[in-house]
Every structure is written in structure tokens, then in C-alpha cells.
Chain A
Amino acid sequence: MYTHCVYTVCRVLGMSIGHTLLGLLESGPRHGYDLKRAFDEKFGHDRPLHYGQVYSTMSRLLKNGLVEVDGIEAGGGPERKRYAITDAGITDVEQWLATPEKPAEYLQSTLYTKVVLALLTHRDAGDILDNQRSEHLRSMRILTDRKRHGDLADQLVCDHALFHLEADLRWLELTAARLDKLRVEVAR
């Protein structure tokens, strides 16, 4: 169901930073500063990460066994630590990518992140889009059914939600059509 105010932008972003950093580690171990740079380059166009976010996220991932410290450069603060993803970390990314998002507002940044990460880690980004379409359609069927059996007020409320879901879906279709181009671009 399409619901307002369930997710705020921050919450969605906050939830995906960990997975995004994990995904970036899949192609090989990286230092803290390198992770921040890669994140900002691929996903942080208008919202670069603070170092503080990187460290708090990495220490949570460490605690949960999803990453391990692979080395520490001499003379360094936390940005000099080198992190490597663990098997549990890879499984975690895998599950996150395979689980469609509940249709909600401000979804596109999470979906964009998933698609780019899938391409970066040589997974099937088309699958992510297909699964998400399916999840959206599930919501649209419920709304369509409610609309059919409801009064005019129901119809108007459902229509509003349906148009928003449809906008998401149009973005999904367009992205699906551009996957080949995007793959080339993210590989640069």
C-alpha cells in the first residue's frame, strides 16, 4: 500500500547507507576515505557522506560481522582503516537487493542505489526492476479493487495513490530500457 509519511527521506537513506557501503566493498577491500569517495561519486551527487556517517556505519557493520578490518595504514585515524566484506556481508547485500521495496514516497533514491550497486557487482539489475514492478502491481491491484467497490471519495483517494505508483513504474521501465547504457557508465 502506498502510504504517506511512513518513510522520511532520512530514514530511507539511513537504511541504505550500510548496504551501499557493503556493496561497494564487494569488488575489493577499501579504506574509509576511499569508501566515502566512491559513495559520493556514485550515489552522493547532492548529499555527500560525512566522515562521521562512514565511521558509525562501518563500526555497526564490524559489530554485526558484515565487514572485517583488513589492515591499518600507519599514522592514521579511522579513515586509514581498510575494510573487507565478509561472507555474511555478501549474503546481506544479496538479500537486500533481492527484496523489493514497499511502495512508498521517496523510493527512487533507494531503487537507484540498488540498480547501480547491482550493476557494479555484476548482478542482474533487470531482476531488481522486475521484482519491484511486481511489488508495485500488487499494491495497484489492491487499490484498483478498492476503487471498483468504493464510492467516489474512495475512487479519488485510490486514484491519487495509483498515479503515484504509476509514476514509479514509468521510471522503472525507463531505467530498464537504459540498463545497458547505465552499466557502461557506472563501470567508468
Chain B
Amino acid sequence: MNAPAAPAGSLLTAEDLRKAYGPTVALDGAGFSIHPGEVVAVMGPSGSGKSTLLHCLAGIVPPDSGSIRYAGREMATMNDAERSSLRRSEFGFVFQFGQLVPELTCVENVALPLRLNGTSRKEAEKTALGWMQRLEVDDLAKKRPGEVSGGQGQRVAVARSLVTGPRVLFADEPTGALDSLNGERVMELLTDAARSTNAAVVLVTHEARVAAYSDREIVVRDGRSRDMERAV
């Protein structure tokens, strides 16, 4: 039912994850695995533990117990510096609300992860603009987040999440705040971009129309996961 054995060639694998916040059990033996280039939807009702699973997989929140392996390495054995370097350069993030820095222009926002990794401003903004073109928001480069629409802001956030060339993109309800037309466009562009770079996408969503952009789904209920492909 849960915690499937790590399948060969998987990039990120979790087994038997448990996590409690005080008396609240958020994860109760959840498992997960994803291959390079794969888009996996994490579905389930609100409060079932989807975001907690994503945070654990991304090394943002440590699980109470269980194993998470990225590229063959056990995450619990890495120190904080290693984990945060992983998050900066190997992982990309998109959340429901873009979380762009309001004081920066859109292109500066997209370039930010590269700047934090020490890339020069010129170089970083050039790469950033390339990604903005792919997400069809390059004309917004000089605007600030407050001056663009929700759908545009979310595409800027997707560009930012991909700018470092991550191997895993974590997206938590990336279209949750958008109408269906904008949501679909974001999903199309996000999955196209991820496929072109062979990034794996962990896509948390409770919406079936969004999950339909995935290759397969796992369902989380009461902190336990069910892999629908392997379960059959």
C-alpha cells in the first residue's frame, strides 16, 4: 500500500515518512518516488499531508523518521549547508502565490537564484530573460510584481524556479490562485519547460484538470500515500 521499494533509476525516493506537529500527525508512513523527466501529481484532500510531503522531499522540513534519498544519497546524512545548497541549485520551487520580491523587477526576480549562487548580474539577467521568453513573459522584464496579473506573476515565478536548471521542480498548488485559462497556460508552459530540461516535477494539486498534466499520480490520505500505478 505505501512505501514502495525504490524503483531502479529513480532520482528522488522516500520511504515510510512520518512527521507530526505536536499531536497532529501530518505524515503516517508516506512513500514517494520520481524519475528524471517525470511529472508526478500528488493528490488528496485538504489537510491530508501533501504539502508536508513536498517539504520533506525538498529538504525544507526534516521528517521524524523514514528515509529520503536524492541521487542515491540519504538526505538525513547531509548537513545543513549541503541541504541548502541542494535546494539552491538542484531544486526549484513554485508555490500557490508566486512569492516574488515586490521591490525587484520581474527580470531581477527571475535572476535572483543565480545571483545568490554568485553569478554576475549581467550573466544572470541574460539567462533570466531567456527563461522569461519561454514562459512568454519577457515583455514584463522591467515591471514590478505589483504591476502584473496573477497569471503573469505565476509564469514569472515558474521562470525563476527553472533558471538554475534544477533537476527537481517542486510545485505546490501552482495554479491554485488562477482561473482555469491562466492555470492551463501555466501548466502547459511549466510541463513543456520541465520536459525540455528533463527535470522531474513534483506537482501537488487537488485539481484533476491540473493533475491531468502529470504522467502519473499518487494519492495522499491521512498522511499515507498510495501509488496508483504500482498499486494496480
- CB of B209 within 8 Å of the partner chain: yes
**Which residue on A lies nearest to B226, using beta carbons?**
A130
What is the distance, in angstroms, from B195's C-beta to the closest C-beta of chain A? 12
Check A134–B217 contact: CB distance below 8 A. yes
Question: Which residues of the other chain, B, contact A156 by a CB distance below 8 angstroms?
Answer: none
Check A140–B226 contact: CB distance below 8 A. no
Q: How many residues of B contact A (CB 8 A)?
A: 18
- CB of B107 within 8 Å of the partner chain: no
Quick one: given A130-B226, A177-B45, are A137 and B188 in contact (CB under 8 Å)? no
Question: Which residues of the other chain, B, contact A130 by a CB distance below 8 angstroms?
Answer: 219, 226, 228, 231
* Those of A148-176 within 8 Å (CB) of chain B: 148, 162, 165-166, 169-170, 173, 176
**Distance in angstroms between the alpha carbons of A176 and B43 in the assembled complex:** 13
* Those of A111-133 within 8 Å (CB) of chain B: 126, 130-131, 133
**Which residue on A lies nearest to B215, using beta carbons?**
A141
Check B209–A137 contact: CB distance below 8 A. no
Contact with A along B200-223 (1 / 0, CB 8 A): 000000101101111101010100
**Which residue on B lies nearest to A129, using beta carbons?**
B219
Check A165–B208 contact: CB distance below 8 A. yes
Check A137–B212 contact: CB distance below 8 A. yes
- CB of A16 within 8 Å of the partner chain: no
Check B209–A162 contact: CB distance below 8 A. yes
Check B212–A143 contact: CB distance below 8 A. yes
4 smallest A-B Cβ distances: which pairs? A140-B212, A144-B212, A134-B228, A169-B208
- Chain A interface residues (CB < 8 Å from chain B): 126, 130-131, 133-134, 136-137, 140-141, 143-144, 148, 162, 165-166, 169-170, 173, 176-177
Contacts A140-B208, A140-B209 supplied; 14 other A-B pairs, CB < 8 Å: A130-B228, A131-B228, A131-B232, A133-B43, A133-B208, A133-B219, A137-B208, A137-B211, A137-B212, A144-B209, A162-B209, A166-B208, A176-B45, A177-B45
Can you pick out 24 interface pairs between chain A and chain B where the beta carbons lie within 8 Å of each other? A130-B226, A130-B228, A130-B231, A131-B232, A133-B208, A134-B228, A134-B232, A137-B208, A137-B211, A137-B212, A137-B217, A137-B228, A140-B208, A140-B209, A140-B211, A140-B212, A141-B213, A141-B214, A141-B215, A143-B212, A144-B213, A165-B208, A166-B209, A173-B45
